[in-house]
Chain A
Amino acid sequence: MATRHLIIGGGTAGMNAMRTIREEESQRSEVTLVSAERPYSRMVLPYYLDRSIAESHVFTATAKILADWGVKTHLGRRAAALDAKANACTLDDGTKVEYDDCLIATGSSAVRAPVPGSDGPGVHSFWTLDEARGVIAAIKPGSHVVMVGAGFIAFTILNSILSLGAKLTIVEVAPRILPRMVDDAGAKLVEDWLTRHGVTIRTGARLARIEDAKGRRRLRFAGAGDIVCDVVIMATGIKTNLEWLKGAGVTINRGIVVDDHLRSSVPNVYAAGDIAEGRDLISGEGAVHAIEPTAQEHGRVVGANMAGKDVRYRGSLIINIVEVCHLDVASFGAWDDAKADAATGLRADRPAYRKLLFRGDRLTGAIILGRSSDIWAINDVGMLKGLVQSGVSLGRWKEHLKKQPFDVKPAFIASRTTSTLLPETILGRPSKAPGDTPVAV
């Protein structure tokens, strides 16, 4: 009998696993997908919001592709309970799906600030496609939009909101913006840049409640003036979708704890993406990254292992990049490591900032800010990632980089970083192009 693989969750991790199973398997298996939503890419929703792409562009698999892949689907259904002892998953309509092995990739969801009125009319999250549709319908040219929360997710839709002709105010409870993506100096530079581009920013702002103001929204704060606006977007964080796994029998810490093959404490149950607590490449510790690149790599590694390969995963690297008003903001690895040997560089004449963090003579983290039009900035983004990812020994180049953090290229090339990186692949073989997935046999 063909092996029965069950994939729970049709996001990045689940879809990468599904494709990799088909790429790697030697015998055709039975693949079942359970997904509450039709598979789409969350990464591209900001481009749907600003109308630069049609809604059809967001989907990562059409019904035809899923049929070509020979995948049995339960779309629009949520997994309600997992019985790892019985190798069975029960869906929210009572359907029971039995498996030989399964992948839990149910991701995370948006959380709203726990204040009165935060679930009322005119208050939105921007995380799922449905939520994106709600925001698209709400924002009109001239609308005043208040974004609650100044983290990465808020910043991914900042350009889109402005390009729709809306006025934008960002309120953040922390004393500064982007608290989990850049350091204080970087945050200050971004804040000044945005203010100059017409965005109003209020930090250290404790939202108390949201009220109706004759059809508009009134935000009340503890110890600061009210803001009246048309649309409120709550970008106040995400939480891992773990509730349905109570009693499933898999070990859960901050996420589902996985080993170096991305197996949970139950060997035939894997976890990947936002829900998995896997190895962080730099610290070596378990971490829930909840970022797209980690979900992609997790998904591919799980897919290969489900297909019978033996792929060990060395860990994932935190990488974030966001562009706001033509300013690129990126950070990698252990950028907030207080014990690292760090060097910074700030250009007085233009918005350009670097922070490089070292342990020994290896680069372990970096922050980079620069204009999108600065070619060197975008090339340096990749090279800094390569230095962190490869962990090459920089030797004397470390001192050079500390003195000249904007002169990355010679350090990268002369440290033979390319030699270290070239043999590296996630699956132990060259990657296949997205369109080359084997289809129905």
Chain B
Amino acid sequence: MRVLRIHPEKCTGCLRCELACSYTQTGTFQPAKSVIRVSPFEGHTSYAPYTCTQCAEGWCMTACPVGAITINAAGAKDVLDDTCVGCKLCTIACPYGTMFYDPDTRKAFKCNLCGGAPACAEACPTAAITYEETATLDWLGDFARERTARVLAGAPGSAS
């Protein structure tokens, strides 16, 4: 399956992915409605986009009491709007924090890989997000660990 591969060291924090995502997902250029989120590290000197890994368990999908989350043609877990009642069980079942809820529509929403043509990857000017045939991985863990070392340097117990 093709997945979104994140190359955090290439991210410039331009937020184009968030704009492209929100426009494709909800028809508005509004980062607040994007399901890919760029996080700053080290006092806004480096950045990394974070989104659904399309995990094997699909905690959101198995938790849904009405079968409103399915697997689309691109292999992504996808919310069926007509079936979703907005109970939010998926938002608490997903252990990655990548389920979203739209208070306007009262529906859950998430990354569905835009059905196989992810707008975020297309919009990224530095190829920090690529759409590749590869196993999904923790793309940000090592990057974040390194980039946060200084944040934690001042924390108690950090002398070691």
Contact = CB atoms under 8 A, between A and B. Distances in A.
B60 to A, nearest CB: 9
Given A321-B89, A418-B53, A372 B67 contact: no
A326 B32 CA distance: 17
Given A326-B103, A414-B145, A381 B97 contact: yes
A46 B65 CA distance: 13
A434 interface: yes
A409 interface: yes
Contact of B88 (A328, A379, A416, A433): A328
A322 B145 CA distance: 33
Contacts, number: 174
A21 to B, nearest CB: 16
Most chain-B CB neighbours within 10 Å: which of A389, A390, A397, A414? A414
B39 A296 contact: no
Interface in A289-323: 292-293, 296-297, 300, 319-321, 323
Main secondary structure of the interface of A (DSSP, over half): helix
Contacts of A431: 56-58, 61-62
Contacts of A412: 97
A43 B68 CA distance: 13
Most chain-A CB neighbours within 10 Å: which of B50, B55, B89, B95? B95
A225 interface: no
A51 to B, nearest CB: 12
Contact of A414 (B37, B69, B148): B148
Contacts of B136: 422
Interface residues of A, number: 67
B157 A413 contact: no
A375 B65 CA distance: 23
Given A396-B152, A397-B152, A431-B57, A44 B97 contact: no
Given A296-B63, A397-B152, A385 B93 contact: yes
A143 interface: no
B151 A378 contact: no
Contact of A300 (B62, B65, B93): B62
Contacts of B56: 422-423, 425, 429-431
Interface in B93-137: 93-101, 103, 106, 136-137
Contacts of B37: 379
Contact of B63 (A293, A328, A383, A408): A293
Given A300-B62, A410-B151, A381 B92 contact: yes
Nearest to B70: A433
Nearest to A46: B87
A414 B103 contact: no
A382 to B, nearest CB: 3
Contacts of B61: 431, 433-434
Nearest to A411: B148
Nearest to B72: A433
A378 B101 contact: yes
A416 B97 contact: no
Contact of A378 (B95, B99, B152): B99
Most chain-A CB neighbours within 10 Å: which of B62, B83, B145? B62
Interface stretch (A52-60, A73-81, A122-130): A52-60
Contacts of A41: 65-66
A46 B88 CA distance: 13
Contacts of A300: 62
A416 to B, nearest CB: 4
B45 interface: no
B91 A382 contact: yes
A413 B70 contact: no
B74 interface: no
Contacts of A390: 95
Interface string A50-89: 0011000100100000000000000000000000000000
Given A330-B92, A382-B92, A396-B152, A409 B97 contact: yes
Contact of B58 (A330, A414, A430): A430
Contacts of B151: 400, 410
A436 B101 CA distance: 25
Contact of A44 (B55, B66, B140, B152): B66
B92 A319 contact: yes
Given A41-B65, A300-B62, 20 more contacts: A44-B87, A57-B83, A60-B65, A60-B67, A319-B92, A332-B92, A378-B97, A383-B97, A386-B95, A408-B97, A410-B144, A414-B141, A415-B141, A418-B140, A421-B55, A421-B95, A425-B56, A425-B57, A426-B57, A431-B61
14 contacts: A44-B65, A292-B63, A323-B88, A372-B101, A379-B98, A381-B97, A408-B97, A410-B151, A416-B138, A422-B136, A424-B57, A426-B57, A426-B62, A435-B70
Closest 10 CB pairs of A and B: A386-B95, A382-B97, A434-B67, A416-B141, A383-B97, A418-B138, A43-B65, A419-B138, A430-B56, A414-B144
